[in-house]
Amino acid sequence: MTKVEAIKQLMKDNEGLASWSLIYKDIEKYYPKAKISKEWKAGIRGVLYRDLGKSFKKIDDALYALIGFDEEEYLKDKDDNIIQKTEKISEIKVRIGQQFFKKSLLKELKECPFTNIEFEYLLIASHIKPWSKSNDIEKLDTYNGFIFTPTYDKLFDNGFITFKNNKTLIISNRLDNKTKSKLHIKNNMYIPSLPIKGREIYLEYHRDVIFKSE
């Protein structure tokens, strides 16, 4: 298998799409010698760039697809919400990126670490470093995300909770005791299924910038 064929197969296995972070993370599964060179990332980028317009097309700066990728079909969900004629190309790119991020994250994490719920319609892909503050790579990096059910997503997204790197919970003083009691959460509570590895830098940002420490 050539590098081009490896990237194509990686995309096929991910509904025709791949971000740079996904390619870098998984390319060895398809091309075992991919990371032998010190400049292997530049080599992978060069292979993809040379085949733009032939095998691949650019969706956004950090997101690429197979040449036959169907944007409308990808965004179609079970409620048949599809691309509207009034939508701008930039809006479509954002929707594709957000959908890709959620699907990629659900492949890896599958459940909310607080509730252990796996039902997809009750799960939200929550960015650790917000989408609006992230660069193109960070927006689609699954290490920049957790899967939560809505209540915990809301608490995390608004800085009422965060986490230490040892999987323990930090709760803002702004969250009242009655609410904490009803949610069955407390400071330094250990969350065993919380995925930390690879997310340390993003969590540091969340603790320093998003968390309501006072």
Predicted confidence at residue 213, as pLDDT, reads 86
pLDDT digits (tens, 9 = 90+) for 7-55: 999 999 999 999 999 999 999 999 999 999 999 999 999 999 999 999 9
Residue 92 banded pLDDT, cuts 50, 70, 90: confident
Beta bridge partners of 58: 64
Note whether 202 and 143 are within 8 A (CB). Answer: yes
Residues 139-160 as b/e (b if ≥16 CB within 10 A, e otherwise) read bbbbbbbbbbbeebbebbbebb
Number of H helices, E strands in the chain: 9, 7
pLDDT at 82: 61
pTM exceeds 0.75 for this model: yes
CATH 1.10.10 range(s) for the chain read: 1-107
pLDDT for 77 = 63
The reported pLDDT for the residue numbered 91 is 81
For 98-129, the pLDDT digits (tens) are 999 999 999 999 899 999 999 998 999 999 99
CATH architecture label of 1-107: Orthogonal Bundle (1.10)
| Helix-, strand-, coil-residue percentages of the chain, each rounded to 5 | 45, 15, 40
